[in-house]
Structure 1
């Protein structure tokens, strides 16, 4: 079944750039009113100014429960309802866990996992009223572990499990819950990770098709189509669906192959960047006053 987005109210976190920004534009083009949430006020204002429908923005940290509860109340007051919530806000870091920056590692878990849960907690009351749809953006990283990405993989595995649990809890009350999976997609986050030579080379050595960077537009089109269907699983790249059938074998395979790759790159690992990657990561660090 396909639901019309005309007149629907959609909330998108991490809406200042990347997936969130383009998703807001495509939802608006289909008639949805959009509420953006993020950490970059000037960009959020700029994005909402380009949307075709009634829209607004809120500056808030998705890990702050009180702030997000206030956002949910204000969005409900502003638009009268909420039909769709996309928990998209996310950050990433890379490098060996043993040498990782504890604050950056923890922040990835906080934003991606805790932030998704805080977003759901804040907006579930209004979604229950509208019998709406909650989409948690996960990743290929939820399906397959990857060395040098321990925080990101842990956070995305966590949000996948959280969304599956939530679906069972609220489904009988009319709220549908979905998980969105993306591989490497052309965003500031991925481009930021590629600025590190070791991380870029490691990714290039992954087997096809996981070693490609995919264009943002078609990926977001697939997400929009999933929202229109209120799908339980949304795959931004066609081949990700097939990964579900082999995911049980992947930890053993990656454990063996990854060990060889780590040995190959061992002399260069000390130079891998330890902070959050990309412009979104820089914005998060700037908001928290972290020196880079």
Structure 2
């Protein structure tokens, strides 16, 4: 797509109130794109929008609420023009043993991360087809090998990878490119909370030193933005993850072996500890989740 071709175009970023989403919105705006920020925390979205050097709009929207997303997409198309870039970044995580986890929380992680990504793609696809644009699905190395005590999160990230791969083939004839971003340890409040969990902290400690390194949201956003400019099929954050792709068939076995070794040295109460939803963004979503009743199309609060 290139920086020159992106200048003045519209980019939509979900989960833009904080972390990687907010940082990606800033990097895209610095490239000259006009940015639409979608998220659950309107005041945080407004603060991010106020720092951007280009036109920005923000919408308080739940990505699992397709009617609200449709309303936001309609306003974007009418007032800013069709989106050329959509970054499906919204996501939450929960930690804890599956047997002790609240069913509603497990379902919520799947709904936000997987169904929310599908909803985002669905409502903005007409605009992306019109602009022959680029859809970026933010996934995770959790799709490489599932970690215990993170069953919902790992399942959702494996799901969005498969979803984006299928979408890529379907949309090729329409001129829309689909990329997948594989994020490793990223310095967000989600990771801070994860490190408080004894099992997950032990799992991370058994990884090789380069794999334990935490990269800032700003650095990850820079990698994502360069991928957007290239309309990349795959974006790795950090880039060296590309080198381990040939080893992916071995990852489930490797993760399982490390997990068993990590769990063996932990006390029983540590194994049973349930952390629940991770990070401030996840808590904001969990506390504000919408009732399970469909409604007519709406235009969500905006700035």
- The two structures have a TM-score, normalised by structure 2, of 0.91
Q: Cα distance, 1:261 vs. partner?
A: 2.1
Q: Which runs of 5+ in 2 are unaligned?
A: 292-303
Which secondary structure does the structure 1 equivalent of 2:282 belong to?
Answer: helix
In 2, are the aligned partners of 1:204 and 1:212 still within 8 Å (CA)?
no
Q: 1:266 to 1:195 in 2, by over 3 A?
A: closer
Q: Cα distance, 1:20 vs. partner?
A: 0.5
CA offsets per residue over residues 12-44 of structure 1, 9 Å max, x none?
000000000011111111100000000000000
Per the alignment, residue 272 of structure 1 pairs with: 274
Per the alignment, residue 282 of structure 2 pairs with: 281
Q: Cα distance, 1:69 vs. partner?
A: 1.2
In 2, are the aligned partners of 1:192 and 1:279 still within 8 Å (CA)?
no
Per the alignment, residue 301 of structure 2 pairs with: none
C-alpha distance in structure 2 between counterparts of 1:71 and 1:271, whole Å? 39
In 1, are the aligned partners of 2:101 and 2:274 still within 8 Å (CA)?
no
C-alpha distance in structure 2 between counterparts of 1:85 and 1:106, whole Å? 25
Q: Cα distance, 1:163 vs. partner?
A: 0.3
Give yes or no for the alignment of 1:112 onto 2:113: yes
Which secondary structure does the structure 2 equivalent of 1:239 belong to?
Answer: helix
Per the alignment, residue 246 of structure 2 pairs with: 245
Superposition pairs of residues 39-188 of structure 1, within 5 angstroms: 39-188=40-189
Q: Cα distance, 1:282 vs. partner?
A: 1.1
CA offsets per residue over residues 126-151 of structure 1, 9 Å max, x none?
10001000000001111222122111
Q: Cα distance, 1:214 vs. partner?
A: 1.7
Per the alignment, residue 2 of structure 1 pairs with: 2
Identify which of structures 1 and 2 has the higher relative contact order when contacts are C-alpha pairs closer than 8 Å and 6+ apart: 2
Q: Cα distance, 1:217 vs. partner?
A: 2.1
CA RMSD, 1 decimal: 1.6
C-alpha distance in structure 1 between counterparts of 2:142 and 2:255, whole Å? 12
Greater alpha carbon shift after TM alignment, 83-92 vs 260-269:
260-269
Q: 1:257 to 1:164 in 2, by over 3 A?
A: same
In 2, are the aligned partners of 1:222 and 1:236 still within 8 Å (CA)?
yes
Residues matched between the structures, number: 289
In 1, are the aligned partners of 2:203 and 2:259 still within 8 Å (CA)?
no
CA offsets per residue over residues 38-95 of structure 1, 9 Å max, x none?
0000000111111100110011100111111111111111211210000000000112
C-alpha distance in structure 2 between counterparts of 1:215 and 1:163, whole Å? 25
Which secondary structure does the structure 2 equivalent of 1:210 belong to?
Answer: helix
Q: Which runs of 5+ in 1 are unaligned?
A: none
C-alpha distance in structure 2 between counterparts of 1:48 and 1:215, whole Å? 20
C-alpha distance in structure 2 between counterparts of 1:67 and 1:207, whole Å? 43
C-alpha distance in structure 2 between counterparts of 1:84 and 1:168, whole Å? 18
Per the alignment, residue 195 of structure 2 pairs with: 194
In 2, are the aligned partners of 1:203 and 1:211 still within 8 Å (CA)?
yes
- The two structures have a TM-score, normalised by structure 1, of 0.94
Which secondary structure does the structure 2 equivalent of 1:254 belong to?
Answer: helix
CA offsets per residue over residues 258-286 of structure 1, 9 Å max, x none?
2232232251112231x210000110122
Q: Which runs of 4+ in 1 moved over 4 A?
A: none
Q: Kindly indicate which of the two structures has a greater share of residues assigned to strand.
A: 2
